[in-house]
């Protein structure tokens, strides 16, 4: 069987081994997929060593996505725009290929699992760190009317908007200056980890807005609970994105499409 890993620090909490085992079984693919903990200063040589052995591919998680991108010989456009890779693949010529499936996972969860089109929509993106940068290109490819990025440190939002302006209408804004009608808010901040909600003006939440939190947990995330209490129509957490980015990685490695992601999402949901 072919060998795959999720590499990160920490990595014990990763649900990727479970998800890929489910996909492999569904698709009749003979693979083994394990967790691999690596120390911060050991990433490059460890990954080079693993791929020089029998490793066929890896998912890369916190805090190594930028390292993984730099280490690879070839890159997809979505990895290049993200400046980060969550997926590495050993090509048949031995070269290392970097991809980033996070944005595609988010778009697939919204459009396929929740029937929410992004085309022509006005989207508010919260946060300007790696999580947001990682998804902007695939989201812009859906041709939204506009993306507004808001961040506590507004310079980071403005910089990201500038960086992605060639792909669509996108601008940065401080939280307190946000106004107008948004169809969708995507929370890509790590505020939930600190049990906080980004300072979005309450007036932006209305009866048919969709809120998406890239984080997930056993109940509503702090952000989704906040939006629901203000009457948001629909609040979605990031569990579906997690499974869909995995399905995209599986496709990159195995050239096989996972058709039934929903059963895996359901199983994971039941285990939270
Ligand atoms: P990641 O790779 O998960 O995006 P990151 O690069 O550290 O991690 O970015 C974290 C993001 O969450 C940033 O946009 C951060 O805002 P700042 O750039 O101003 O620091 C945002 N963030 C973290 N805690 C937050 C909080 N309590 N309220 C609002 N935004 C927060």
| pLDDT of 225 over the 90 cut | yes
Q: How far is CA 224 from CA 46, 69, 190, in A?
A: 39, 32, 13
| pLDDT, tens only, 205-214 | 999 999 999 9
| pLDDT, tens only, 7-24 | 999 999 999 999 999 999
Helices and strands, counts by H and E, the chain: 10, 12
Q: Which residues contact 200 (CB under 8 A, 6 or more apart)?
A: 124, 126, 150, 175, 178, 185
Q: Strands of 234-236's sheet, edge to edge?
A: 170-173, 146-150, 122-126, 184-187, 210-213, 234-236
Q: For a pLDDT cut of 70, what percent of the chain falls above it?
A: 100
Q: How far is CA 114 from CA 35, 106, 179, 212, 240, in A?
A: 30, 11, 26, 11, 10
Separation between Cα atoms, residue 130 and residue 238, nearest integer Å: 15
Question: Does 2-100 match 103-239 in CATH topology?
Answer: yes
Q: For a pLDDT cut of 90, what percent of the chain falls above it?
A: 98
In this prediction, residues 30-50 reach a mean pLDDT of 98
Residue from 152, 198, 226 to probe ligand 1 pocket by mutation (most atoms less than 8 Å from CB): 152
Confirm whether 162 is a catalytic residue: no
In this prediction, residues 108-117 reach a mean pLDDT of 98
Q: Which residues partner with 172 through β-bridges?
A: 149
Q: Which residues contact 185 (CB under 8 A, 6 or more apart)?
A: 123, 124, 125, 126, 200, 204, 209, 210, 211, 212, 227
* ipTM score of complex: 0.97
- The atom of ligand 1 lying closest to the CA of 194 is 27
Pick the CATH number of 103-239 from 3.40.50.720, 3.30.420.270, 3.40.640.10, 3.40.50.300: 3.40.50.720
Other beta carbons less than 10 A from residue 104's beta carbon: 24
Residue identifier of the C-alpha nearest atom 11 of ligand 1: 189
Domain locations in the chain as residue ranges: 2-100, 103-239
Which SS3 state, helix, strand or coil, does residue 74 take? Answer: strand
| pLDDT at residue 104, rounded to an integer | 98
Residue identifier of the C-alpha nearest atom 27 of ligand 1: 191
Radius of gyration, alpha carbons of the chain: 18
| pLDDT, tens only, 162-201 | 999 999 999 999 999 999 999 999 999 999 889 899 999 9
Distance 3 CA to ligand 1 centre (A): 34
- Is 131 touching ligand 1 by the criterion CB < 6 Å? yes
Look up the CATH architecture of domain 2-100: 3-Layer(aba) Sandwich (3.40)
- Is 152 touching ligand 1 by the criterion CB < 6 Å? yes
- The atom of ligand 1 lying closest to the CA of 193 is 24
Angle (CA) 220-226-229 rounded to 5° is: 100
- Is 174 touching ligand 1 by the criterion CB < 6 Å? no
Annotated binding site for shikimate: 14-16, 61, 86, 102, 216, 245
Structure tokens at 25: 């079984």
Least confident span in 24-33, 187-196, 245-254, 258-267: 187-196
The band of 50, judged by pLDDT with boundaries at 50, 70 and 90, is very high
| pLDDT, tens only, 114-132 | 999 999 999 999 999 999 9
- Is 149 touching ligand 1 by the criterion CB < 6 Å? no
Is-contact 236 109, C-beta < 8 A?
Answer: yes
- Is 127 touching ligand 1 by the criterion CB < 6 Å? yes
| pLDDT at residue 6, rounded to an integer | 98
Work out the mean pLDDT of the chain and round it to a whole number: 97
């Amino acid at each position: 069987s072919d060998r795959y890993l999720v590499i990160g620090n920490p990595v014990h909490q990763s649900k990727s081994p479970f998800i890929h085992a489910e996909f492999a079984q569904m698709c009749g693919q003979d693979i083994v997929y394990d967790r691999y903990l690596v120390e911060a200063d050991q990433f490059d040589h460890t990954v080079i060593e693993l791929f020089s052995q029998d490793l066929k591919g890896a998912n890369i998680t916190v805090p190594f996505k930028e390292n993984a991108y730099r280490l690879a010989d070839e890159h997809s456009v979505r990895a290049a725009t993200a400046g980060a890779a969550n997926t590495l693949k050993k090509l048949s010529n031995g070269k290392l290929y970097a991809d980033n499936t996070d944005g595609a996972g988010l778009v697939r969860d919204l459009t396929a699992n929740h029937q929410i089109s992004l085309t022509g929509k006005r989207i508010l993106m919260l946060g300007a760190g790696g999580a947001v940068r990682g998804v902007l290109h695939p989201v812009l490819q859906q041709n939204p009317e506009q993306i507004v990025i808001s961040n506590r440190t507004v310079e980071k939002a403005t910089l990201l908007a500038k960086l992605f302006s060639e792909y669509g209408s996108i601008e940065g804004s401080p939280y307190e200056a946000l106004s107008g009608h948004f169809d969708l808010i995507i929370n890509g901040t790590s505020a939930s980890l600190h049990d906080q909600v980004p300072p979005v003006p309450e007036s932006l939440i209305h009866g048919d807005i969709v809120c998406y939190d890239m984080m997930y947990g056993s109940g509503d995330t702090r952000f989704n609970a906040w939006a629901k209490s203000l009457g948001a129509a629909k609040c979605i957490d990031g569990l579906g994105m997690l499974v869909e980015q995995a399905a995209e990685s599986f496709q990159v490695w195995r050239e096989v499409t996972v058709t039934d992601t929903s059963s895996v999402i359901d199983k994971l949901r039941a285990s939270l």
